[in-house]
Structure 1
């Protein structure tokens, strides 16, 4: 602490430091430094209790793990320091080895210095410092709040700054009791193999809903009247020239359409500023976060601006728009396969066929946007995000398809880089077969991929990388696999040859193979793996250990 204070750096970086390093420093630090350690609401994965932040004047403490979890959770295989450093080309994490247990101070120093270098490498590779400065400016927020990505606090600061600049009293509220209300709309996924799938989504759904209904503290009127439940997730929306009305099961919320509320003015200003900068830049990211976070200031019960009656109308408007889009697509003869929050997956041609006998997804999208021009939600535009030649929907947030000649996969955990290579390779083969093979060859191809995997698993001895997950264990990356008998074995990645043969529990590996094949076969109509295997002409003894077929 004395060293940091003496050199006065702008940034004090760590990786999981809010939950580990800082708390140890707070415990051992001299009493004169006690006032520099503060417990705040957790901002790290898993919500493992209060976070400890170091506050030295002029020095801002950032936990890279917490920040990446909030902003790039799906960009990395996992959020371990070694994986993030490797995938950002920041360097390789070294293993601490036996020196830790023997009290080797030099080995421990080298280990910690390497971690520090990796943090700096990640910090530079992801341009996080530019993002933090941009967020602080765009949201008029303290850098310490931006560093822990406390978007509720940041959006409250933005609203407060706006009101103060306008010379208007800040709309602080006294309500803190959590009030439950409905979230986003989810249209149940229709698992299966589909041709010509269009994915459409609303741009900036929640901000444009807020602006369209003129939501704000000045415009809201709440009437507690019991009315019949109606509409998607118990909401109906009506409007005229003077007001927009949201009807819920136990209340009616009305927003005056004029004059524009201050919150609506903030949203429109942020959307305008975002449109002036290039996508993919830190500046665009800052305005995007600012725009999408305003709703959170009113929907979080610990916020000084907590207004649940207002906040419940934001996702309600989103549900209404998604349900409206679904109804129009169905009316025009297209099938809605899946929908979540602001997007729809629609089965049908992206462009009208040559005979013009059927609406295309693009035609219906145009119709929806034209109709919305006559509603309060004219800013909520539906756009074509992607088109797929063939798509397999496995379940909620789990699908894959081919677009522009390449395969896009989402939500399939078995293909993550830290999963066993045997399972990963098989799933890739299954995905490739389902997306590219003629329908008459799908069963043969899937059965072939599963049969090869089972045949290898039944050997009982394979290279360690084929049958192991990569996990974090005792401070280092390890291969983890089940030995015969079910005992879990860990081997350090740094000191283990990936091709080294190991004996493993074949039954558990076969059960994993079975689970993945059943998952994908079930999605496309092959409910029993035995059907696929029979078509592929594999011997029954190759299936020993596969859980679903033992009884059969």
Structure 2
């Protein structure tokens, strides 16, 4: 019987089998998890037709190998040949041999699952149609018909946390906090040794039994998401090592398979992993990906900032205390272990982080539990559209010259009243849209047969075709989606779109991107320099003073303003007139429609632009100001100063905030500051003079340059 489901893509796996490449796509649906099983796929890459005769000789005798002329061209406008293999590993080995022979296999790095999805424009969700059967306890649809969908369901989530001895592979307990779409909760602690009588505790005499009970619970609860705090490289990595020692398969996958681990560094300290049919969301990693900022990403600190409550144990002696609790106060250990799980669940709910992951996946095609990956996301969106325009992608550049970065205007140091910030909304995406900056557009404009009027000038002697481009249209579609997300108050989707749009410039400026060309990135950044300079000149021609500018913002001193309403009226007028001027100017000079959008963003009632230490020159990316919040109350804003730096003491930040606040409000400050200095000298502020700085390497790795925090850490061990 043919059935139809709409599902959210949880995982994708491929494997070589007899008869071709098999792909498993696991979806969360409104009913239950569903595995779409695809068979008989081939692995494909491309080669310029003029390299085909040599390749044909090199690949003679390859089992099951075929080729065809797909009617596509490379970026040198040469026809290409498509090379098909029944196994992906066979295709990779063939591509390696061709590369060693001096040939250029194109798009040979794409894995079959990603290519299958992208060519069908399936990103994070799909509607599936086909015959369904039950296998291994789950629904399976074989060789389904797929089409794109927009679907972000509420998922079943399991937050896990383990407690261990400080050394070795000694497991104390595993806590889980499960939440389902209906709001039902499960709280469970699998404890080694005697029980405690607590309802949520299951006690077992050995590590093996604790681990087995946890895996049995996981299979029964069947979460879509496994989460925790450093859950991949601590909790799950520890459990994997323990399972290996015990000879117990760590069956985390929906199909009963162990996870697939991939090292991320040479010393094996950090790993990525993939679990069949489930997402694995690491709390701090994804908060960083969503641009959350905290003084520390320790669970206790993040929980206190977001939730107003923290861990039941904290501090430098926590490890020893956990060991003592395991031996002497097991009920309190259970409470502590379980609270850590709950804090992670509550943080994810508070921040909407799971929905952010799903929204980002639905936009980019990346796996929903893969953070980073801007280059891969660009490929996923760009390649299928490129193929439909008749081209295949080039090989990524190994080395390339740098493109200039964002432009920073010299600052005028001083203490001001009424400083306005005018900000270009998403400047680099706006430049791409306005000037048609695009990898394919660059190729099309290089065609000698194309009239000059059919292209727009860039920098370093390049031009971009007015028609046939891809990236400007892609950004325009994302822009419209973000406006719709804002209108619908869909914060996770809006934030995800903003991040991916702003990442496009960085992708084009990265030699790791297959479309990298320094002329692309330079045509964006130098156009940004020009726009910022001309905007400053226009503002100053109107009689105002620009005291600073950075990439997409200008800071304007409204010297004549007598009060807040007068200054803000000037800001609104500058926004209106500058946008109108840019529309007229770009139409006259380039015959393009301006997509630039300048916004009056902030009014600083008082503003300080400091000098560089030891000079009279104004600083850059460092300032402070006083603004009005939504209730009209004063709020201090710091940028780049000690107040916002985690490697300064709490006292330095507190003193700076109080001092600037007093000065901005014209309150007396000299006597207060003298009293603070006296208190420091008397030892009354010692508890606030603690420096916090992360060690990014092992202590022994610091040899030549041994900074103060490393010296302190060596004294402490």
1:92 corresponds in structure 2 to 310
Partner of 2:524: 314
Q: Which residue of 1 aligns with 2:340?
A: 115
Is residue 396 from structure 1 mapped to residue 603 from structure 2 by the alignment? no
Aligned to 1:132: 357
Please give the root-mean-square deviation of Cα atoms over the aligned residues, in Å. 3.8
Structure 1, residues 465-494: CA drift from partner, whole Å, max 9, x if none? 444457899xxxxxxxxxxxx989999xxx
1:294–1:428 CA distance, 2 compared to 1 (3 A): closer
- Counterpart mapping for 1:359-370 below 5 A: 360-370=570-580
Residue in structure 2 matched with residue 528 of structure 1 by the alignment: none
> Relative contact order (alpha carbons < 8 A, sep ≥ 6): 1 or 2 greater?
1
How do 1:258-337 and structure 2 match up within 5 A?
Answer: 259-278=467-486, 281-337=491-547
C-alpha distance in 1 between matches for 2:455 and 2:562: 38
* Alpha-carbon contact 1:178-1:301 (below 8 Å) kept: yes
User: Distance between the aligned counterparts of 1:35 and 1:364, measured in 2?
Assistant: 60
Query: Structure 2: how far apart are the matches of 1:191 and 1:112?
Result: 52
Task: Say if 1:122 and 1:341 are closer, same or farther in 2 by CA, change over 3 A.
Answer: same
Q: Residue 244 of structure 1 aligns with which residue?
A: 456
What is the CA–CA distance in structure 1 between the aligned matches of 2:577 and 2:410, rounded to whole Å?
24
Q: Deviations over 1:408-464 (max 9, x none)?
A: 312333377996564444323311222111xxx7xxx3432320111112223x266
The CA deviation at 1:210 is: 0.6
Q: Which moved more, 1:426-435 or 1:119-128?
A: 426-435
Check if 1:151 corresponds to 2:374. yes
- Give the distance between the partners of 2:242 and 2:344, measured in 1 at CA: 23
- 1:253 and 2:476 are equivalent in the alignment: no
Judge conservation of contact 2:420–2:556 (CA < 8 Å) in 1: yes
Q: Deviations over 1:49-99 (max 9, x none)?
A: 87412211111112211111232343x333221111111117411323534
Aligned mates of 1:48, 1:289 — CA distance in 2: 31
Distance across 2 between alignment mates of 1:301 and 1:17: 32
| Equivalent residue number for residue 406 of structure 1 | 634
Q: Unpaired segments of 5 or more residues in structure 1?
A: 225-238, 474-485, 492-552
SS of equivalent to 1:454: helix
Q: Deviations for 1:136-174, whole angstroms, at most 9, x for unmatched residues?
A: 1122332232xx24333223222235446x575453434
**In structure 1, distance between residues paired with 2:480 and 2:560:** 30
What is aligned with 1:77?
295
Q: What is the TM-score with the length of structure 2 in the denominator?
A: 0.55
- Structure 1 contact 171–217 (Cα < 8 Å) conserved: no
Rate the CA distance shift 1:328–1:352 in 2: closer, same or farther, 3 A: farther
Asked whether the equivalents of residues 431 and 596 of structure 2 are also in contact (C-alpha less than 8 Å), the reply is yes
Matched residue of 1:88: which SS?
A: helix
Specify the SS of the correspondent of 1:61.
strand
**Secondary structure of 2:405's partner?**
coil
Cα distance in structure 1, aligned partners of 2:267 and 2:414 = 38
- Which range moves more in the overlay, 47-56 or 175-184? 47-56
Given the superposition, is the C-alpha separation of residues 283 and 70 from structure 1 closer, same or farther in structure 2, using an over 3 Å criterion? closer
Report the secondary structure of 1:337's partner residue. Answer: strand
Within-5 A mapping of 1:434-445: 434-437=663-666, 445=668
- 8 A contact 2:643–2:657 mirrored in 1: no
Deviation of 1:36 after TM superposition, in Å, equals 2.4
CA distance in 2, matches of 1:54, 1:109: 28
Corresponding residue number in structure 1 for 2:227: 13
Which of 578, 590, 597 matches 1:381?
A: 597
Pair 1:378–1:453, CA change in 2 (3 A): same
Q: Which one of 391, 399, 418 corresponds to residue 177 of structure 1?
A: 399
Is the CA contact 1:222–1:252 (under 8 Å) kept in the aligned structure 2?
no
Could you say if the C-alpha distance between residues 339 and 102 of structure 1 is closer, same or farther in structure 2, counting changes exceeding 3 Å? same
Does the 8 Å contact 1:173/1:306 carry over to 2?
Answer: no
2:548 matched residue in structure 1: 338
Asked if 1:160 corresponds to 2:383, the answer is yes
Secondary structure in 2 aligned to 1:268? helix
Q: Is the 8 A contact 1:329 1:336 kept in 2?
A: yes
1:351 Cα deviation from its structure 2 partner:
7.4
CA 1:240–1:360 in 2, change beyond 3 Å: closer, same or farther?
Answer: farther
Do the aligned partners of 2:226 and 2:278 also contact (CA within 8 Å) in 1? yes
SS at 2:307's partner residue?
coil
Structure 2 contact 424–552 (Cα < 8 Å) conserved:
yes
TM-score by length of 1: 0.70
Determine helix, strand or coil for the equivalent of 2:501: helix
Shift in alpha-carbon separation, 1:69–1:208, aligned structure 2, 3 A = same
Q: 5+ unaligned residues in a row in structure 2: which ranges?
A: 1-210, 251-256, 587-591, 611-618, 696-710
1:380 to partner: Cα distance: 0.9
